[in-house]
Amino acid sequence: MSGQVLIEVQGLRKVFQDAENRVIALNDINLKVYEGEIYGIVGMSGAGKSTLIRCINRLDFPNEGQILYRGQDILTMDRQTLLQTRRKMGMIFQQFNLFMQRSIAENVRYPLEIAGVPRKQADNRVLELLEIVGLTDKAAAYPAQLSGGQRQRVGIARALASKPDVLLCDEATSALDPMTTQSILDLLQDINRRLGITILLITHEMAVIRQICHRVAILDGGKVVEEGSVDEVFLNTKSEAGKRLFGVLPEQSEEDPGVPSLRIVFDGAAAEKPVISTLSQETGVFVNILSANMNHLQGKMYGQMIIQKPGTEQENEAVISYLEKQGLTVREVNKP
């Protein structure tokens, strides 16, 4: 992910205005997306993230600012250059937006058709793409016959058809159940690794960020309130919006447990099971829970728990390694 800057957003501002209301959807947004990385933008609904990603390929037009794609401003480029640039940016959507009257193969072939790729060549490419997303057997089916997860796979294959440099994902997993979400996230990660395609995604789910993103920006009220590598932002959440998204109550995160302790963060990624009981069984260490604040969302655990640090360094390491194996993040607080 140590590439060049692929997309740079500078001073982006978007105001929606009608007779009575004036809503500032985006307020002075600055971001850099590097080649090869998975960059996540997370925020509650209404934070402006959809508007932001739609501005990137000029489906929406901001009031102020610049969007540089390989140094070229998307907002000022002429129409022909814009169309060519859009072909370098695939996009997938929450509602998939497949062509309902086209078969799966025809959906995937659409970007090749409009680019004037010869029929034979296009058909071969379609097969290749259906293989990548694991839907070769559905080539002749129609979108209405597929499940949500399969439809999103078609959306991904279609977005990859024109060999884009970047994939824009607009809440791509928000309409899917947790298991399907997982398989789509795995696919996106695979595409990023194997094909080297940069991914810019927006989501309201912290678990999505945590699982596949390298860097994250937290959007709140039309502003970027926090940005950095996922681990960094996750472990040192500074903004109120970030704490809300992690399911951490503000007053609690500031609380000083008074004794050396461990902070365990549940971000929805861990399997749902009684972690603390099994921890004691597996490691033989009995832990003392100092405080906990957990939220149950769609069958996943969000929040944090503070436990007293076990007596010996050995026990401590056993506890930390066990918890991390469960997909949880652990950080020592109040080191002696």
Partner 1 sequence: MSWDQLMPLILEGLWDTLYMTIPSTLLSYLIGMPLGLLLVVTGKGGIRPKPVFQSALSVTINFLRSIPFIILLVLLFPVTRAVMGRAIGTQAIIFPLVISAFPYVARMVENAVREVDHGVIEAALSMGSTDWQVIRKVMIPEALPSLLNGAAICMVTILGYTAMASAAGGGGLGALAITKGLNMRKYEIMYSASLTLVALVQFMTLFGNQISKRLDHRIKN
| Residue 57 within binding range of partner 1, rule CB under 8 A | yes
174 binds partner 1 (CB under 8 A): no
Residue 24, helix vs strand vs coil? strand
- The residue within the footprint of partner 1, chosen from 14, 49, 86, 215 (CB under 8 A), is 86
The three state secondary structure string of 178-238 is HHHHHHHHHHHHHHHHHHCCEEEEEECCHHHHHHHCCEEEEEECCEEEEEEEHHHHHHCCC
Instruction: Please identify, using beta-carbon distances, which residue of 126 and 218 lies nearer to partner 1.
Output: 126
162 is a site residue for partner 1 (CB under 8 A): yes
Q: Which is nearer to partner 1, 98 or 305 (CB)?
A: 98
Instruction: Supply the minimum distance, in Å, between the C-beta of residue 325 and partner 1.
Output: 40
Q: Which residues of 18-55 are buried (b: 16+ CB within 10 A; e: fewer)?
A: eeeeeebbbbebebbbbbbbbbbbbbeeebbbbbbbbb
**Under rule CB under 8 A, residue 198 binds partner 1:** no
The one among 1, 23, 83, 195 contacting partner 1 by CB under 8 A: 83
Asked if 89 interacts with partner 1 (CB under 8 A), we say: yes
- Using rule CB under 8 A, residue 84 touches partner 1: yes
CA neighbor of 155 nearest in space, from 133, 140, 138: 133
Q: Which is nearer to partner 1, 56 or 279 (CB)?
A: 56
Closest CA to 167 of 228, 90, 82: 90
Q: Which stretch binds partner 1 (CB under 8 A): 27-35, 109-117, 257-265, 273-281?
A: 109-117
**Could you tell me the two tokens for 289?**
């829970």
Question: By C-alpha distance, which of 195, 206, 212, 204 is closest to 159?
Answer: 195
Binding footprint of partner 1, residue count (CB under 8 A)? 33
Q: Which two tokens stand for residue 267?
A: 């971000």
Least distance to partner 1, CB of residue 154, Å: 11
Nearer to partner 1, 87 or 204 (CB): 87
Q: In the set 158, 215, 263, 300, which binds partner 1 (CB under 8 A)?
A: 158
Q: Closest approach of Cβ 78 to partner 1, in Å?
A: 13
Residue 93 Cβ vs partner 1, minimum distance, rounded to whole Å: 6
273: which residues sit within 8 A by CB, 6+ positions away?
none
Residue with tokens 């540089």: 68
Nearer to partner 1, 113 or 177 (CB): 113
**Alpha carbon distance 169, 154 (integer Å):** 14
Token pair belonging to 12: 């982006």
270 sits in which H/E element: none
119 to 148: interface string for partner 1, x by CB under 8 A: -----------------------xxxx---
Where does this chain touch partner 1 (CB under 8 A) — which range of 92-100, 197-205, 212-220, 308-316? 92-100
Task: Write out the residues near partner 1 by the rule CB under 8 A.
Answer: 57, 59, 82-87, 89-91, 93, 95, 97-103, 110-111, 113-115, 142-145, 158-159, 162, 168
